[in-house]
Amino acid sequence: MGHVGSSDDALLKEFFAEVSEVERDNEVNRIVSCFKLNPFEHLNLSFDSMPEDVKRQYRKLSLLVHPDKCKHPKAQEAFTALAKAQQLLLEPQEREYLVCQINIARDELRAERKKQLKKDNASKIKSLVDEGKYELQYENSEDFKQKWKQRVRDILTEQEWRRRKMQMRISEEEGRLKKDEEETKEMWKRKRENEEMWEETRENRVSSWRDFMKTGKKAKKGELRPPKLKTEDPNKSYVQRPVKKG
């Protein structure tokens, strides 16, 4: 099997060596300008392509736009886009998500067509006669494929818009929570500082209260009371309280 794979690659390389610059440039332009959210479109694959088809198509297109072979200024961008598209389509969860959106698009188109056929009796009769073959034929038509591709684009765009809106809401909520957290931290910090200050001034408050209990009035800050004199002192210039004699 490995030998067959390598001989396939050799044939591909040989074939693409002959490809004109215009063809390479056209492919680069197609890749860089195609719808960004659908890797099936980057690789130019039908929606029912299997992982083997993805790998084969990636090898083919990456050789076509390889920056070593293609002189287009956006060759590297196209080459990178193809690699990302392959990665998404080979990653089971990503592939499942895409296939789910693709199926939703097809179901919507089928329901709309059914509604249309009910209005149009001739088509309704025709579809009954062909027992569904007519519908299969229609779904293989280019018209249906184009409508399907466009509907998938619409759905993927809507989903991406919702995802971005959700991301914005999450970011806003995270910002709000962070602000609340910072405000709460600040509040606790102030509370702690107040408690520390209250504790530091405790001694002053206690001694001030003791003074009040003794004298009935608070001492003014920085004021010293003169001592109560019990004896007469002729050297003192201020009037002294008379001392009781006998």
- Domain range summary for the chain, segments of one domain joined by +: 8-90
**Residues 6 or more apart whose Cβ sits within 8 Å of residue 49:** 40, 43, 57, 89
Nearest to 112 by CA among 73, 137, 141, 139: 139
pLDDT tens track for 133-156: 678 888 989 999 999 999 999 999
- Residue 136 falls in which region: left (phi positive, over 0), alpha (psi -120 to 50) or beta: alpha
Residue range 159-182: average pLDDT?
89
The pLDDT of residue 233 = 58
The pLDDT of residue 132 = 65
Distance, in Å, from the CA atom of 182 to the CA atom of 195, rounded to the nearest integer, reads 20
- 52 by DSSP, 3-state: which? helix
Residue range 221-235: average pLDDT?
59
Say what angle helices 92-119 and 142-200 make with each other, to 10 degrees.
Answer: 130
Single-letter amino acid, residue 45: L
Mean pLDDT over each residue of the chain, to the nearest integer = 83
Residue range 202-212: average pLDDT?
78
Q: Name residue, tokens 């990653």.
A: 91
Phi then psi for 68, rounded to 5 degrees? -70, -30
Distance, in Å, from the CA atom of 129 to the CA atom of 137, rounded to the nearest integer, reads 14
Q: Which of 72-76, 167-171, 197-201 has the lowest mean pLDDT?
A: 197-201
Q: Which of 108-112, 152-156, 185-189, 204-208 has the lowest mean pLDDT?
A: 204-208
pLDDT tens track for 31-75: 999 999 999 999 999 999 999 999 999 999 999 999 998 999 999
The pLDDT of residue 144 = 94
What does the DSSP assignment read for 124-160? HHHHHHTTTHHHHHHHTSHHHHHHHHHHHHHHHHHHH
Residue range 123-136: average pLDDT?
65
Contact of 28 with 21, CB cutoff 8 Å = no
The pLDDT of residue 56 = 95
The pLDDT of residue 89 = 97
The pLDDT of residue 154 = 97
For the domain 8-90, what is the CATH code? 1.10.287.110
